[in-house]
Structure 1
Amino acid sequence: MKLQRNGRTKALAIGAVAVVSSLTLAACGSDNNNASSSNTSAAATTAAAGSSSAAASDCGSGQLLGAGSTAQANAVTQWVKDFQAKCPGVTVNYNANGSGAGITSFESGKVAFAGSDAALKPADVAAAASACPGGTAIDLPMVGGPIAIGYNVPGVTGLILDAPTLAKIFNGKITNWNDAAIKALNPTATLPNLAIQTFHRSDGSGTTANFTAYLAATAASDFPYTANKLWPAKSGQSATGSSGLAAQVKSVKGAISYFELSYATAGNISTAKIATGASAPVEATAANASAAVADATTVGTGADLAQKLNYATKAEGAYPITLLTYEIVCDKGNKAATLPALKAFLNYTVSAAGQSSIGSLGYFPLPAALQAKVAAEIAALS
């Protein structure tokens, strides 16, 4: 799908976070992947040989392909490293080419699982029918994290924004950092006379779907669009992947964009606090995002565990711009050759060890009750 947009399209810079991610993954082995390729792909392959603490029957064997969400790329890098130290007979190769591309690869049967920051639409489930003979595609929540609002405004720290102001910025209605609406939220800040440079994803993205869902739920009059994996507004510039957005914010004065907190942390990028109606603006942290996800409800049916987030939460300390990443798999009809490895890898990711291993990367673990539900569905995969 080709994204239609106005504004100047910047040439993509490969940011430090992308380089770090690529080097980390490449260190595990070859990054060859039969899924659709991307310059910002994160591939993960075999770790250095070592003693295995699990029986081969528990690990499976061979090559396991996945593709999709860049939001979880840093988490997958860690998971693959840990899993392959335990199960060196399995090669896990994850191509972080965006949720939309990952789902397309899954629907065509090119990968065993897809990562997505948004649950499947009915049309996606229908399109995946041939990839899941006798079964259906399902969403398994795997990890959560805040979508940070990263900015590059010289001399400004501790920036506070709210939903209406964010909506006007990303819809091209507020175009300068010294705008009265931004001043009202930051009365003690020295805001420069500097043009705002907004950046959004050029590729289909669950991160975009979640960010636009937040704006639609909290500032519909200023952002009159529905949630969408493709950026719906006609203003701004674009870049591919979360790493591409982070690289632009890092290098362009006046820039603002949205990406997972792990990219802001890795790039040392300032992030805005969000005024939600609680007693104090809320910082983008894993703990604060976790407080918002505690409000989520399961809306999937059967084996599907899709969640509905409350973007309009005003709970104290709850950061509202939050996402859950899903691993999309077939409940039945998985390929016999890769099913043992798929179940073993997913079992590790949802385990206490797997969930805790990514805490330092800006993610938070699933609630224990949801972890148990995911583990039960993984056990039932066939």
Structure 2
Amino acid sequence: MTLPGHRTLSAAALVGVLALTSACGSDDALRAGQEPPAVPEEIACFGGSLSAAGSSAQENAMYTWVAGYQLACEDSLILYDSVGSGAGRSQFLEAAVDFAGSDAALDEQEHKRARRRCSDGSPAINIPGYVVPIAVIFDVEGVDSLNLPPETLARVFNQDITRWNDPEIAEHNPDTDLPDLRITPVTRADDSGTTENFTGYLDAAAGGAWPHDPGGTWPIEPVEAAQGNSGIAEAVEGGGGTIGYVEASHTADMSTVSVGVGGEFVDPSPESASRVVATSPEREGGHEHDHALELDHGTTEPGTYPIVLVTYEITCLRYGTEREAERVRAFLDYVLSKEGQEAASAETGSAPLPSDLRQRLHASVAEISGAG
């Protein structure tokens, strides 16, 4: 299967976002041919700058949100550094940025550190902002699509299956002429929420074929490693016999795997990915305004694509000044708005958040306040 092309930012994404910071409200904030993203009629604007860092999975969505917000709010300056989820969480906990984007919610130890970073010992909260499939992409000449069950995927990425014409791959693709070619798995070199969600899927769905715990760093010595989602996409696209995993807006026109779910194979799409999120409960034991989700990566529900990531916008519930809090509230209200979610979906193929969830998230964002 080939997904519609979205990976127009890739390696230049951060340059484009930083260009927005000098374009502030001008048409220069848009890429060539891009329509201005929709914004709510009564958008709340702030004066000054807002900084964030983190998930490369949401870099294309963040480009869209920053463009839309800055075109509507000429006095606002938003900086987003796509350094990966782990680095973004670290920068937030060190108070180097106002908020973080992360494909993994804060864990228990990070929540403890956040109370030292946030004002008055307040908690940090995880606000889901972006829901998207993680696509498994590959580059094998003459092969446009593949069906792979989770156990086979696990053995490929664990380097137990090393040739594309392996009988286990051929069994699920009987009409495909598979070459006798070495498989080159491309995995993340950085601490990554995309990796944490992908290994979480392998752990939940592949059973003993994946003998590692979920985590943000790749658990074995890589065959080939790359930085960020765009780095993996470029390495897979530029190789031969390569396979990797990326947030779906980075697939461009590359071939993707249909994964085994129950008795069928399911393609990555906004609709199939949203079915996982719609049935996922919030993590128990958290603050009332913390909305970390327990994703069911091991689902066998028909028509459900289980390799999904949710990118959280991680913020303090209380900042040192009301001015800081106002900036975070204003921008996140746009991210969570119907217009913001639809703009990101049009650009990246993400699944817009359900309206009832958006209402709960807006209520939590409204509780973000400043000490001064």
Q: Normalising to structure 1: TM-score of the pair? A: 0.87
Does residue 318 of the first structure (1) align with residue 296 of the second (2)?
A: no
Is contact 1:171–1:234 with CA below 8 Å preserved after alignment?
A: no
Q: Which residue in 1 is equivalent to 2:3?
A: none
Alignment of 1:267-278 (within 5 A): 268-278=253-263
Is contact 1:54–1:86 with CA below 8 Å preserved after alignment?
A: no
Secondary structure of 1:59's counterpart equals coil
Relative to structure 1, the CA distance from residue 252 to residue 335 in structure 2 (aligned partners, 3 Å threshold; closer, same or farther) is farther
Q: Which residue in 1 is equivalent to 2:270?
A: 286
- The CA deviation at 1:310 is 0.8
Provide the C-alpha distance between the structure 2 equivalents of 1:314 and 1:335, rounded to a whole number of angstroms: 47
Alignment of 1:223-238 (within 5 A): 223-238=210-225
Alignment of 1:64-79 (within 5 A): 64-79=50-65
Is contact 1:132–1:333 with CA below 8 Å preserved after alignment?
A: yes
Provide the C-alpha distance between the structure 2 equivalents of 1:298 and 1:334, rounded to a whole number of angstroms: 28
Secondary structure of 2:112's counterpart equals helix
Is contact 2:25–2:73 with CA below 8 Å preserved after alignment?
A: no
Q: Which residue in 1 is equivalent to 2:331?
A: 345
Relative to structure 1, the CA distance from residue 162 to residue 17 in structure 2 (aligned partners, 3 Å threshold; closer, same or farther) is farther
Deviations 1:280-316 (A, max 9, x none): 3100111111122222111143211000111111112
Provide the C-alpha distance between the structure 2 equivalents of 1:26 and 1:307, rounded to a whole number of angstroms: 31
Is contact 1:172–1:235 with CA below 8 Å preserved after alignment?
A: no
Provide the C-alpha distance between the structure 1 equivalents of 2:321 and 2:172, rounded to a whole number of angstroms: 54
Q: What is the number of residues matched between the two proteins?
A: 349
Does residue 21 of the first structure (1) align with residue 13 of the second (2)?
A: yes
- The CA deviation at 1:78 is 0.3
Q: Normalising to structure 2: TM-score of the pair? A: 0.89
- The CA deviation at 1:18 is 2.0
Provide the C-alpha distance between the structure 2 equivalents of 1:275 and 1:49, rounded to a whole number of angstroms: 44
Deviations 1:244-303 (A, max 9, x none): 0000001000110001110003xx21111011114x310011111112222211114321
Deviations 1:15-68 (A, max 9, x none): 9642452454244244xxxxxxxxxxxxxx734189x99889x32210100000
Q: Which residue in 2 is equivalent to 1:205?
A: 192
Is contact 1:46–1:90 with CA below 8 Å preserved after alignment?
A: yes
Is contact 2:298–2:306 with CA below 8 Å preserved after alignment?
A: yes
Q: Which residue in 1 is equivalent to 2:240?
A: 253
Relative to structure 1, the CA distance from residue 210 to residue 132 in structure 2 (aligned partners, 3 Å threshold; closer, same or farther) is same
- Structure 1: which amino acid aligns with 2:300? K
Secondary structure of 2:249's counterpart equals helix
Provide the C-alpha distance between the structure 2 equivalents of 1:220 and 1:49, rounded to a whole number of angstroms: 51
Provide the C-alpha distance between the structure 2 equivalents of 1:295 and 1:180, rounded to a whole number of angstroms: 36
Match of 1:308 among 263, 287, 294: 294
CA RMSD for the aligned pairs? 2.0
Is contact 1:197–1:255 with CA below 8 Å preserved after alignment?
A: yes
| The 10-residue stretch of structure 1 (319-328 or 15-24) with the greater mean CA deviation from structure 2 | 15-24
- The CA deviation at 1:337 is 2.9
Relative to structure 1, the CA distance from residue 340 to residue 49 in structure 2 (aligned partners, 3 Å threshold; closer, same or farther) is farther
Unaligned runs of 5+ in 2: 1-6, 29-38
Is contact 2:273–2:305 with CA below 8 Å preserved after alignment?
A: yes
- The CA deviation at 1:173 is 0.3
Deviations 1:118-158 (A, max 9, x none): 11111111122222022111100111000000000111112
Provide the C-alpha distance between the structure 2 equivalents of 1:254 and 1:97, rounded to a whole number of angstroms: 27
Match of 1:214 among 194, 201, 214: 201
Q: Which residue in 2 is equivalent to 1:82?
A: 68
Q: Which residue in 2 is equivalent to 1:108?
A: 94
Relative to structure 1, the CA distance from residue 49 to residue 271 in structure 2 (aligned partners, 3 Å threshold; closer, same or farther) is closer
- The CA deviation at 1:201 is 0.8
